[in-house]
Amino acid sequence: MKEVGIFARLFVFVVVPALCLTGCARLLGVPQGLAPEDEPYLFDRSDPDFHLAKPCEDITDAQVQEAGLRRSDADKYLVEKDGLDSCSFDANEGSILVNGAAFKLARLEEDGVPLNYQPSPEKTPSLAYSQDGETGCSIAAETPRGTVEVLYIPTFGDRIDPADACPIAETYFDLLIGEKLNEYRTN
């Protein structure tokens, strides 16, 4: 039963953003570049200077151990897609999902539910949001290499307001992405 719940959460957090990456340009048959209506929402993956931030490749076993996490078996459900780097972790109190994606914060503001929580200033431009307004909190920060984000979803029995989950999500963001955020912003 827990595996079904994890799969549902991964679907919302990984598959839905992957569909957003397809964007209108592809639907309109544009082979390269972005359609004008996509420019505020997506990074141009056809640009040879665009290199996606891949936090999942950068997270070390030492970081996982320091954060008190375990790599999740749910990773087998993750969708591999150009423009999306995702991984998941299990914590005693919930699940953690990490993304590096070729979409901008404007896409998340439009598709998600912004929460009344302000991530620390060094993450700016950033956003705290919930996929559905009812479960979990994502802390997302935009960089020239895409948006990196960490979603924290409390254990099923722990019903807390999504905004109340944001400090925990931000702590995991700092532990798992932390110093790399500056690197993603400069390279």
Return d(Cα 36, Cα 29) in angstroms, integer: 13
78: Cα within 13 Å, side-chain hemisphere: 19
- Residue 34's pLDDT is 66
| pLDDT tens sequence for the chain (187 residues) | 455 454 445 444 544 444 444 444 443 343 466 677 777 778 988 899 999 999 999 999 999 999 999 999 888 777 778 899 999 999 998 999 999 999 999 999 999 999 999 999 999 999 999 999 888 999 999 999 999 999 999 987 667 899 999 999 999 999 999 989 999 999 7
- Amino acid letter for position 146: G
**To which H or E segment does residue 100 belong?**
strand 94-101
